[in-house]
């Protein structure tokens, strides 16, 4: 019996139907061509998914990820006042442009053309605004209007990418439904032949029908889950035969494998994007966005409780940093920033938040730390920097401004206090720590 089942599973759909001994040639041929036609339609739909839609779907995911990289790169360029970084984003923009142009000849050519035009318009405007921000030191006429328009353009292109992705998903769902309809058509429209068969022929046909239906329903259930976005990536269809439905099953498993891979890549990309959102790309310290969030959290905490909660802020500026870029070049300047950040991380406390405030300025948030404790932290860092031998430039120093929170203080005030203390330190000879509370 086992050998019979293995032989049956090795047969094609045509040969399985030929097992019915009492079906005449006239009845057999129409039934065969009917099944063959529907099977070809199913294979055609699967080929469209594998050859076009998967690549287009992958391209859309990649473009969304690259768009986020462009945004972060331009933001970093503005924060660091580096025009060269703005130009560096051109490579990512060209990658998106190339990805879209590859698919202009597909069924989605018109939609892709609109997305491409909108992206080029957004990117050109984003470069222009970033350049003006850097050149004007964050202040020029119509900055508010330009910023608002830039956000609208970004949101628009982001929504267009998502809309294109949803259209592709709908097309996949349509192809899967077509497979479902063709498969059911094989069963429903072919059932009328059953009445022509003798008892044994009907028994054999019933067995074949149940086999088809079981595997087709398995395919339909799995494809519906894929179309709805609920696919179990740890599950694969069981291939029990080598006929056309077995080929369809193999194609679906290949599609699930591809989706699984894309899902893993997307999860990885999300983690990287999350890291880019909170970390400075050069120093790997917290960026200004994250530091602002931490300060707001600390202010809410000390204003919520009636106990003596306190935190302190240390602003740090590398002394005579401009001379490094002028003398050794920007690459040497970047190297100093990286080494400087490493000194701060290695010598700050585990509970401190270390970030890059902008350019050669850094910031440390000392939670649950009063003026005395934060001054000790700052002095330890100053000493470590003073003793360090930087690559290429050798000895460098830094100036420190310290300010502590008080009940009811806001973010702007405590940052201004720390900045005033830093200003005093720089104007009093540099390479020293100044506490705001000690200023006259």
Region of poorest pLDDT, from 154-158, 245-249, 331-335? 245-249
| 282 lies in some domain | no
Asked if 74 and 130 count as a contact pair (C-beta separation under 8 A), the reply is yes
What pLDDT does 332 receive? 94
Whose structure tokens read 């998914």? Answer: 49
Is the Cβ–Cβ distance between 314 and 364 less than 8 Å?
Answer: yes
> Residue range 328-347: average pLDDT?
95
Nearest to 81 by CA among 356, 328, 315: 356
Neighbours of 83 (CB within 10 A): 14
Are 168 and 108 a contacting pair, CB within 8 Å? Answer: yes
Q: What is the CATH number of the domain that holds 309?
A: 3.30.70.270
Q: Which of 81-85, 192-196, 368-372 has the highest mean pLDDT?
A: 368-372
Residue 232 lies in a domain: yes
Q: Give the mean pLDDT of 192-201.
A: 54
State whether 193 and 330 are in the same domain.
no
Q: Which of 266, 284, 313, 337 is nearest to 68 (CA)?
A: 266
Q: Report pLDDT digits (tens) over 384-414.
A: 999 999 998 999 999 999 999 988 889 999 9
Question: For the residues 278-295, what does the mean pLDDT come to?
Answer: 92
Distances in Å between the Cα of 15 and the Cα atoms of 24, 339, 370 are 14, 73, 86
Task: Quick: pLDDT tens for 202-214.
Answer: 666 666 667 667 7
Instruction: Using the predicted structure, report yes or no on whether residue 109 has a pLDDT greater than 60.
Output: yes
What b/e sequence results for 293-317 when a residue is b if at least 16 CB atoms lie within 10 Å of its CB, and e otherwise?
ebbeebbeebeeeeeeebbbbbbbb
Task: Answer yes or no: is 316 within a domain.
Answer: yes
Q: How far apart are CA 158 and CA 64, in angstroms?
A: 7
Q: Which helix (H) or strand (E) holds 318?
A: strand 311-318
Number of domains in the chain: 2
Does 94 reside within a domain? Answer: yes
Q: What is the DSSP-derived secondary structure letter of residue 194?
A: G
Percent of the chain with pLDDT over 70: 65
Report the alpha-carbon distance of residue 436 to residue 439 in Å, rounded. 5
364: in domain: yes
Note whether 183 and 220 are same-domain residues.
Answer: yes
**Same domain flag for 236 and 328:** no
Summarised one tens digit per residue, pLDDT across range 62-108 is 888 888 888 888 888 888 888 887 888 888 888 888 888 887 777 77
Over range 303-331, report the average pLDDT.
89
pLDDT score at 23: 43
Residues 110 and 18 reside in one and the same domain:
yes
- 198, 341: one domain: no
Secondary-structure percent of the chain, ordered helix, strand, coil, rounded to 5: 70, 10, 20
Instruction: Give the model's pLDDT for residue 165.
Output: 77
- Among residues 58, 68, 222, 360, the one annotated as catalytic is 360
SS3 431: coil
Last residue of a domain, one of 243, 277, 311: 277
Residues 265 and 295 in one domain: no
Average pLDDT, the chain: 79
Give the pLDDT of residue 315: 97
Helix (H) or strand (E) holding 315: strand 311-318
Distance of CA 247 to the CA centre of its chain: 34
The string of pLDDT tens digits covering residues 259-275 is 667 667 766 756 655 65
Give the pLDDT confidence of 27-40 residue by residue, as tens digits.
555 665 656 665 66
Among 272, 270, 307, 315, smallest CA distance to 291 is for 315
Provide the pLDDT for residue 11: 59
Position 135 scores a pLDDT of 86
The predicted model gives 29-54 an average pLDDT of: 59
- 120 and 225: one domain? yes
Range of the domain at 184: 2-277
Residue 423 shares a structural domain with residue 345: yes
CA dist 95 → 60, 78, 182, 267, 436 (Å)? 12, 22, 39, 21, 49
What residues contact residue 139 under an 8 Å CB cut-off, 6+ apart? Answer: none
Question: pLDDT tens digit string along 167-180?
Answer: 877 777 776 676 66
Residues 256, 293 within the same domain: no
Tokens 């490493």: give the residue. 342
- Residue 22 pLDDT greater than 50, yes or no: no
pLDDT tens for each residue of 138-163: 788 888 888 888 889 888 988 888 88
Q: Which of 231, 254, 277 is the last residue of a domain?
A: 277
Domain identity same for 14 and 72: yes
Torsion sign, CA atoms 80, 85, 87, 92: negative
Do residue 143 and residue 100 come from a single domain? yes
> What is the per-residue pLDDT across 112-123, written as a single tens digit (0 to 9) for each?
888 888 888 888
Q: Does residue 266 sit in the same domain as residue 311?
A: no
Of the residues 277, 312, 328, the one at which a domain ends:
277
Residue 283 lies in a domain: no
Say whether 438 is catalytic. no
Dihedral of alpha carbons 205, 247, 257, 227, sign: negative
- At a CB cut-off of 8 Å and minimum separation 6, what does 257 contact? none
**What average pLDDT does range 228-253 have in this prediction?**
61
Q: Where are the beta strands (DSSP E) in 186-310?
A: none
């Amino acid at each position: 019996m086992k050998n019979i089942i293995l032989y049956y599973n090795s047969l094609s759909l045509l040969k399985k139907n030929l097992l019915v001994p009492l079906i005449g040639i006239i009845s057999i041929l129409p039934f065969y061509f009917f099944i063959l036609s529907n099977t070809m339609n199913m294979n055609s739909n699967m080929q469209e998914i594998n050859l076009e839609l998967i690549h287009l779907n992958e391209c859309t995911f990649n473009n969304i990820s690259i768009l986020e990289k462009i945004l972060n790169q331009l933001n970093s360029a503005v924060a660091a006042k580096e025009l060269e970084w703005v130009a560096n984003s051109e490579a990512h923009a060209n990658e998106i442009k190339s990805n879209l142009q590859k698919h202009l000849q597909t069924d989605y050519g018109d939609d892709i053309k609109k997305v491409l035009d909108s992206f080029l318009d957004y990117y050109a405007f984003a470069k222009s605004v970033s350049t003006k921000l850097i050149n004007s030191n964050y202040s020029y006429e119509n900055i508010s209007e330009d910023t608002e328009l830039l956000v609208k353009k970004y949101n628009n292109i982001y929504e267009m990418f998502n809309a294109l992705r949803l259209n592709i998903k709908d097309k996949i769902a349509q192809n899967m439904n077509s497979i479902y309809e063709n498969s059911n058509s094989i069963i429903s429209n072919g059932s009328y032949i059953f009445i022509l068969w003798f008892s044994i022929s009907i028994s054999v046909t019933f067995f074949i029908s149940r086999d088809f239906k079981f595997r087709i329903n398995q395919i339909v259930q799995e494809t519906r889950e894929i179309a709805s976005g609920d696919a179990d990536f740890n599950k694969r269809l069981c291939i029990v035969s080598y006929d056309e439905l077995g080929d369809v099953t193999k194609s679906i498993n290949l599609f699930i494998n591809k989706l699984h891979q894309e899902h893993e890549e997307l999860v990885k990309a999300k983690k990287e994007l999350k890291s880019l959102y909170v970390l400075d790309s050069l120093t790997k310290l917290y960026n200004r966005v994250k530091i602002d969030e931490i300060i707001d959290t600390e202010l809410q905490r000390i204003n919520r409780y009636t106990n003596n909660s306190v935190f302190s802020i240390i602003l740090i500026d590398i002394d005579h940093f401009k001379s490094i870029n002028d003398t050794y070049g920007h690459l040497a300047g970047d190297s100093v920033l990286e080494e400087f950040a490493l000194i701060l991380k290695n010598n700050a406390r585990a509970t401190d938040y270390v970030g890059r405030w902008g350019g050669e300025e850094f910031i440390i948030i000392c939670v649950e730390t009063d003026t005395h404790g934060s001054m000790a932290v700052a002095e330890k860092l100053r000493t470590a920097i003073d003793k360090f031998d930087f690559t290429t430039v050798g000895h460098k120093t830094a100036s420190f401004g310290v300010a502590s929170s008080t009940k009811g203080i806001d973010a702007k005030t405590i940052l201004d206090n720390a900045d005033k203390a830093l200003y005093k330190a720089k104007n009093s000879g540099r390479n020293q720590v100044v506490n705001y509370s000690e200023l006259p």
